[in-house]
Chain A
Amino acid sequence: MLFNSAQFIFVFLPIVLSVFFLLGRLREQMLAVMWLVIASLVFYSSDDPYRLLPLILSSIAFNFFIGRMLLRSQNRVLLAIGVGGDLVLLGYFKYAGFLVETLNAVTGIALQNPNIDLPIGISFFTFTQIAFLVDAYRGEAREYEPFHYTLFVSFFPHLIAGPIYHHKEIMPQFQLQENFRLHISNFGLGLTWFALGLAKKMLFADVVAQYATPIFNAAAAGQALGLVDSWIGVCGFALQLYYDFSGYCDMAIGLALMIGVRLPLNFDSPYKALSLIDFWRRWHMTLSRFLRDYLYIPLGGNRKGPRRRYINLLVTMLLGGLWHGAAWTFVIWGAIHGFGLIVNHAWNKVAESYRLSLPNSVAWALTLAFVMVAWVPFRADSLSATFTIWKGMFGLHGLVPAESVIAAQVTTAIACIAGLLAVALFAPNSQQLLSYPRVIIAAFRQPIRFIPSPRWAMAAGIVFGIAVSFIITQRPTEFLYFRF
């Protein structure tokens, strides 16, 4: 089920919230938790219950029992079994086909591709549970009831595309009695977060996608692209991805907030970053945190000298790339970012030694250009499509070739991209715009401060309504991160 569907907004959500708060009012806390579990499982498996339900339930049961044993005896072998089991599951569903294809290409043998459909959200719920097992091994998790654990994994606002959260930051919230009662302030604020996210998805991401998608499709079909088309495609996709995923995260935060649960933030205006290191502190923050805490630091982090640090960075980013998808294009994307981070760290060291510094505008432009170029393999269907677009971006196919993909729409595409880029760069982001309790945000100017005023209610309500009208009249589109 999609957050941006009429079925979710008008049927699922009102029923789930009404029953949850009713049970909370009757002080049936455990029943309310069970209700949320059932609702989350329905939300997750509604498209393919016979396949998805056994998959997620067996994964939850496996990790719950391993985690429970780890909490009692912090056994390294048990941790290896648990993490290994999770990786085998993820590997089977996500990487088996990729592995077979690669083996066939390298060795010339002809193994049959298993063509396994990727179960939705598997990367997210597997990572969430790996983090739980490691936390349990480290003694940083507590033992909970099976239903609480199931809710921790399957909680519908985060289940399909994150944010990836820690056991310790969510589980206590499921036990707070006050969260089982309707707090109109939480509900109102959650509604506003949800409205903002829905608007990002429906009015920004899906609109700019109509310029980016044909260009990447043309590249996949082998059409040579001019400089203008290529840059429109790449900039369009960069904005589509940002508004799509940050919109999803805003909706997730809003939904959780309606029932008093605070999810971690996932975006902090990444295109305002002044370096690649800064970018990764602002983009998909919970994945960066996961990769840092459960991969980069266990590999040795920066504790074993600069050379080892660079290797660790590269390995972390390569695996981060592969986490996004089983294809060489994602490996290349990870490698580009890995090398970029190495150069960034090396530059920092040189700059520190020689007291050098780049003007902010230059640093920002370099970072944004680098990120844009790197988005190409992330989006392109193949390596050849990637190189086609890169060639186009560097003008190797001319400015505007005879067959422009979006010739008739160039002006509107540029206007749309410029407008959305301006919003991403100059407007306050969601957490700056709306207050978010218990989250300390780095110092920033807050030009517009959210208060529950009639003006805010009218603005947010109308924006929400317009976004919903798009849902009603068009078929809802999937979020890009659902495929990871």
Chain B
Amino acid sequence: MKPLIAWRWYVALFILCAALGILIGGVGQMTIDNLKCRSTGYDNDHFLAYCRSQMYADYEHGALFYGLERSAIDSIRRAEVLFVGNSKAQAAFSSKAVRDYFNSINVRFFVMGFGYGDESAFSEAILKKWGVFPKILVINADPFFSEKLSPPAQDSLEGQPAFLWRLVLKSLFQQVHRTVCLVANSVCPESEPSIFRSARDGQWNWIGPYVAEKSVPIDRSAQTTITPEEFAMAQTLGEKFLDQIGLDRQCVVLTGTPNSLLDSTAIAVALAASLKTNSIFPPADGLSTLDGVHLNLASAERWSGQFVRAMTPILQKCVSASAPNHESMGGIATAN
């Protein structure tokens, strides 16, 4: 090879390998930093939504906003019933009862709540970005309608190069993490709690990999509520949000997941009346939480099971596919 050609090839190959090196180095560092994240929740359907390791932390906000989990985006776009809200909604609707119910009636659903207390601003951004038009929208309205953005939601919307780069690395890291921990389990300390999310229906797998099942009874005496100003703001933002979604208000279902901190039910009842939407409130007696805020697994199964069964008439009305009409609605308050 002539020297000049050799140098041209050299520089070209150098640049190509440098790009590869950046990727290798980035994933390598991400792996070293986060190998301690729990790996027990991976399967073909679940991705690592969150790990308590500081160098990983949140992934799901960016992954869903930028479509890094392609199959999750497809599921959101195809979902006929979409659940939105904060982590309380995720805890409540991540249940076998919900999955079994929708599978039995062959209706696609997606639980699209977010941790870090994110509310309507981020959900709205995702719905707009991916052109999502569900037939039924279930909202954990306590009060949900807010302009507040959490730091990961803010980072996602800003899309700085450093954030995007880390997001890509987190995505690639999961392949390495899953393989390493499968092949050489002894090198994975499994010490950092993690939350896995289903790409098919958005449910969290977190009881176990993130937090142990506990039973903290709901204490209604300690519940507070929002201020009139906050309620008025939620009303205004709610009108705007629902107008933009363009869904028949009868196909919008408001609820409030039971907890000890906030009288979510009362807030949701008032908002549903004001926004003229449907609402469902399964009984909260005897329910328990993990931490006073999020329903524990047993209570989530019971409460969400009653919730989806109570949705049956709304499903019949709003989803073209036939829905069962034999479910009992006894003891469940519904309103419109």
Contact = CB atoms under 8 A, between A and B. Distances in A.
Contacts of B3: 185, 452
Contacts of A452: 3, 6-7, 9-10
A276 B198 CA distance: 65
Chain A CB within 10 Å, residue with most, of B9, B15, B25, B29? B25
B10 A464 contact: no
A468 B11 contact: no
B275 interface: no
Interface stretch (A187-195, A264-272, A353-361): A187-195
A54 interface: no
A462 B29 contact: no
Interface stretch (A36-44, A114-122, A426-434, A453-461): A453-461
B20 interface: yes
A454 B9 contact: yes
Interface in B1-45: 3-4, 6-26, 28-30
Interface residues of B, number: 30
Contacts of B26: 469, 472-473
Contacts of B25: 465-470
Interface string B104-145: 000000000000000000000000000000000000000000
A464 B21 contact: yes
B162 interface: yes
Contacts of B14: 188, 191-192, 195, 457, 460-461, 464
Contacts of B166: 473
A434 to B, nearest CB: 12
A452 B12 CA distance: 11
B17 A465 contact: yes
Nearest to A469: B25
Nearest to B19: A465
A326 interface: no
Contacts of A470: 25, 29
B21 A457 contact: no
B165 interface: yes
B19 A472 contact: no
Contact of A461 (B6, B15, B28, B165): B15
A188 B28 contact: no
Task: Tell me whether chain A's interface is mostly helix, strand or loop, or mixed.
Answer: helix
Contacts, number: 99
A311 interface: no
A242 to B, nearest CB: 23
Interface string B144-169: 00000000000000000010011001
Contact of A469 (B10, B12, B24): B24
A461 B23 contact: no
A221 interface: no
Interface string A432-465: 0000000000000000000111101110111111
Interface residues of A, number: 27
A13 interface: no
B23 A188 contact: no
A103 interface: no
B13 A461 contact: yes
A184 B8 contact: yes
A247 B294 CA distance: 53
Contacts of B8: 184
Contacts of B13: 454, 457-458, 461
B22 A465 contact: yes
B298 to A, nearest CB: 40
Contacts of A462: 17-18, 20-21, 24
A452 B7 CA distance: 6
Nearest to A462: B21
B296 to A, nearest CB: 36
Nearest to A470: B25
Contacts of A468: 18, 21-22, 25
B112 to A, nearest CB: 29
A469 B22 contact: yes
Contacts of B29: 469-470, 473
Given A472-B26, A472-B165, A473-B166, A463 B21 contact: yes
Nearest to B13: A457
A453 B4 CA distance: 12
A467 B16 CA distance: 15
A460 B4 CA distance: 19
Contacts of B18: 195, 461-462, 464-465, 468
Interface centre among A195, A464, A465, by most B CB within 10 Å? A465
A191 B16 CA distance: 13
A13 to B, nearest CB: 13
Interface string A178-210: 000000110110011001000000000000000
A188 B7 CA distance: 7
Nearest to A464: B18
A460 B20 CA distance: 12
Contact of B7 (A184, A463, A467, A473): A184
B9 A461 contact: no
Q: Which of A195, A458, A461, A472 has the most chain B CB atoms closer than 10 A to its own CB?
A: A461
A90 to B, nearest CB: 38
B169 to A, nearest CB: 8
A466 B22 contact: yes
A44 to B, nearest CB: 25
Interface string B168-179: 010000000000
A462 B23 CA distance: 9
Nearest to B8: A184
A467 B6 CA distance: 25
Contacts of A185: 3-4, 7
A184 B20 contact: no
Contact of A472 (B4, B9, B22): B22
A464 B22 CA distance: 8
Most buried by B among A456, A457, A463: A457
Interface in B240-271: none
A413 to B, nearest CB: 16
A461 B20 contact: yes
A470 B29 CA distance: 8
B39 to A, nearest CB: 22
Contacts of B162: 472
Interface-central residue, A184, A451, A456, A470, by most chain B CB under 10 Å: A184
Given A468-B25, A470-B29, A473-B26, A457 B20 contact: no
Nearest to A9: B18
A465 B10 contact: no
Contacts of A472: 22, 26, 162, 165
Contact of A465 (B6, B9, B11, B20): B20
B292 to A, nearest CB: 36
Most chain A CB within 10 A, of B4, B7, B18, is at: B18
Contacts of B16: 461
B186 to A, nearest CB: 18
For B8, B10, B13, B165, the residue with the greatest tally of chain A CB atoms inside 10 Å of its CB is B10
A465 B21 contact: yes
A472 B3 CA distance: 34
6 residue pairs, one from A and one from B, having the closest CB atoms = A465-B21, A461-B17, A469-B25, A466-B25, A457-B13, A452-B10
15 contacts: A184-B11, A185-B7, A188-B11, A195-B18, A454-B13, A457-B13, A461-B13, A461-B14, A462-B24, A465-B20, A465-B24, A466-B21, A466-B28, A472-B22, A473-B30
Interface of A: 184-185, 187-188, 191-192, 195, 451-454, 456-458, 460-470, 472-473
